[in-house]
Chains A and B, each alone.
Chain A
Amino acid sequence: MSLMDKTALEIGAMIKNKEISAVEAAKESLNAIKETESKVNAFVTVLGDDQVIKDAEDVQAKIESGEINSPLAGVPVAIKDNMCTEGVLTTCSSKILSNFNPTFSSDAVLRLKNAGAIMVGKANMDEFAMGSTTETSYYGATKNPWDLERVPGGSSGGSCAAVAASEVPYALGSDTGGSIRQPASFCGVTGIKPTYGTVSRYGLIAYGSSLDQIGPIAKDISDCATILETISGHDIKDSTSILRDDYNFTSALVDDVKGFKIGIPKAYYGEGLDPEVKEQVMKVAKTLEEKGAIIEEFDLDLVDYAIPAYYVIACAEASSNLERFDGVKYGYRTAEYEGLHNMYKKTRSEGFGAEVKRRIMLGSFVLSSGYYDAYYLKALRTKALIKKAFDEAFAQYDMILAPAAPTVAPKLGDSLSDPIKMYLGDIYTISVNLCGLPGVSIPAGLTSSGLPVGAQLIGNVFEEKKLIQAAYSYERTLDWSLPSI
């Protein structure tokens, strides 16, 4: 068993107990990456051995002096490539940022660094987080460690694949419409999309600002709760950051679901859901019921309207957020141009990939004069109604149990030809972002063909701890191991 097969907390404990050093852990991760990366392509950038080892030596010294005491101290981590990292190439998996070296680090990365995390690389993703397969990356698709002919999901596909391939014990991802939970499901790992405002978006390159949240991806819920506890907190540099009463997520790692009322939205289990995925998720329901939870089916309204509302809102925000990429201050600039506007247009047209352009075009259209009310405001009104439907659900239930995705991971190349079909794959994850809710994706067994299925627990705002507790309780019953590559 390689060290990287262990969880982040196990490795952190070994470092603390002086069984291994942070430097040895870092070397193990770098070696694992060297062995598997040619097959998986989970990273856009792997940091140089010298730099990683130097960082690990610094952290090791601080652990020994008592300056750092986090359970994650000395543990290697991968960071999704849409989070700014000072002096380390940050591309968003786009050509337009192919040479961008940020002068500052995102708040979440800084908090990890202060806890002694050792960043070994920047994880691949769909370009600007726009996609569900990690195939829209300018730097090539990431492969699913369970089956290298399949996608890892997206957009945090590199982060999830790096964990599933045991290149790193944990990673940070971001989730705008399911981009942590869906790839976690396809890769058989655990991920949390926190309540909006819990983790600072400072330094996260924006896609849909009202929807984006950073969250942890790891082998189990104990790691995820610990990571979330480390990266969350109020940040004055993010005006949508929320000061919460309680960030003590690890206190919810308790094996007890007695009395939890868990709702099963009937509309999530109907047409379009792979029967084998349904079977595995219903097994999760049964297990939780056997452990004392109360499981009930109910009618969740407006399910079909979440995807169209989401794509209007997300694309509108994206078209505005991505205006900054203009070839002036950083990133790619076209080689030949005539005048300023031609330079902007050529830079952007050459620098962005097809899916990004598609979403910028849609977003610009729905915000344009004459269509703003009919599309953009209509979507925001729909969002208010969807939020109300979830409020009503959480008046009845502690949490909702749903699949994370309607299928297992599709084959490479099968998804991009039909954008609407790809967007429909987000049906169970997208409302969570529209409503600012927390969601957790946990492994829920394998299909007959040996591919992982993910179950999703959705909670009311600020109720991550209930989800963590239920996930922890379920995990006690699950015998789970990641594939060897």
Chain B
Amino acid sequence: MANVISDETIDYVGILAKLELSDAEKEDAKKDLGRMLDYIDQLNELDTSGVEPMSHVFPVDNVFREDVVTNGDNSEAVLKNAPERKDDTYVVPMTVE
């Protein structure tokens, strides 16, 4: 395997991905990521110098509209999906000490 993924890399990517992997999952992730990157590395056979990266096939522009409210108050239905709520707010763990 050409791409060897270190423990540090897996921990760092885990932070970016907001995932807490078990030790067994980390070992699997190291192997999977390494194998995928080996496979993806075949893109390096292609000379892409001077080629613009294409994010969308069609030209994409910002779509603007007037800032007018068109929907009614739907807060009760929206809050019903909250894992934890208090009155009209979401309850989350303390974010600021």
Residues of A at the B interface (CB closer than 8 Å) are: 99-101, 103, 196-197, 210, 236, 239-240, 242, 302, 304-305, 308-309, 311-312, 319, 323, 326-333, 337-346, 348-349, 352, 354, 357-358, 360-368, 375, 377-385, 387, 419-420, 435-436, 461
Contacts and interface: CB of A to CB of B under 8 A. Distances in A.
A385 to B, nearest CB: 6
Given A329-B81, A377-B53, A379-B43, A348 B19 contact: yes
Contacts of A375: 37, 40
Interface in B24-40: 25, 28-29, 32-33, 35-37, 39-40
B1 interface: no
Contacts of B58: 196-197, 240, 242, 436, 461
Given A357-B17, A368-B16, A436-B58, 11 more contacts: A103-B77, A236-B65, A329-B82, A330-B81, A341-B18, A343-B93, A345-B19, A354-B25, A365-B9, A378-B44, A385-B48
B35 to A, nearest CB: 6
A366 B13 CA distance: 10
Nearest to A302: B46
B81 A331 contact: yes
Contacts of B82: 328-330
B95 A340 contact: yes
A304 B46 CA distance: 11
B2 interface: no
Nearest to B60: A240
B23 interface: no
Given A345-B18, A368-B12, A381-B51, A333 B84 contact: yes
Nearest to A196: B57
B29 A384 contact: no
Contact of A382 (B9, B17, B46, B56): B46
A339 B94 contact: yes
B35 A361 contact: no
Nearest to B22: A349
A436 B57 contact: yes
A152 B20 CA distance: 32
Contacts of B12: 368
Contact of A361 (B13, B51, B90, B93): B13
Q: Please list the 4 inter-chain residue pairs (A to B) with the smallest Cβ-Cβ separation, ordered nearest first.
A: A380-B53, A333-B83, A436-B57, A330-B81
Interface string B56-72: 11101011010000000
Size category of the binding interface on chain B? 35 or more
15 contacts: A343-B92, A345-B19, A345-B20, A346-B20, A354-B28, A357-B17, A357-B25, A361-B32, A362-B33, A364-B16, A365-B16, A381-B54, A382-B46, A382-B48, A387-B57
Nearest to A424: B39
Contacts of A328: 82-83, 90, 92
Given A242-B58, A329-B81, A340-B93, A349 B19 contact: yes
Given A361-B13, A381-B48, A435-B57, A305 B19 contact: no
Contacts of B53: 377, 380-381, 383-384
Given A361-B29, A383-B54, A385-B46, A332 B17 contact: no
A4 to B, nearest CB: 33
B39 A308 contact: yes
B52 A240 contact: no
Contact of B51 (A312, A345, A384): A384
Nearest to B45: A305
B60 A349 contact: no
A354 B18 CA distance: 14
A101 B77 CA distance: 9
A349 B21 contact: yes
A88 B29 CA distance: 35
B46 A311 contact: no
B90 to A, nearest CB: 6
A323 B18 contact: yes
Nearest to A433: B57
